[in-house]
Amino acid sequence: MDVKSAFLNGFIEEEIKQGPEGTFVHQAKYTKDILKKFDMGDSKPMTTPMSTNTALDADEDGEAVD
């Protein structure tokens, strides 16, 4: 049985889907709404735009932000 809920987190709307495979957080509805707002509703989806092999390191010399 799938359980869906949506909530507003600042300006980001997230959906949580629970199922037998696990719990997933996604922004499908938020993304579709933004695309429609800018008349891009017919845009084609693509896979992850960032390489999955990219390693991000902490910026030790950078300024801390909240």
**pLDDT tens per residue, range 16-29:** 888 888 888 888 88
Band of the pLDDT at 7, cuts 50, 70, 90? very low
Band of the pLDDT at 39, cuts 50, 70, 90? very high
Residue 2 predicted with pLDDT over 50: no
DSSP 1-48: --EEEEEEETTEEEEEEEETTEEEEE-HHHHHHHHHHTT-TTPPP-S-
**pLDDT tens per residue, range 52-65:** 787 878 888 888 88
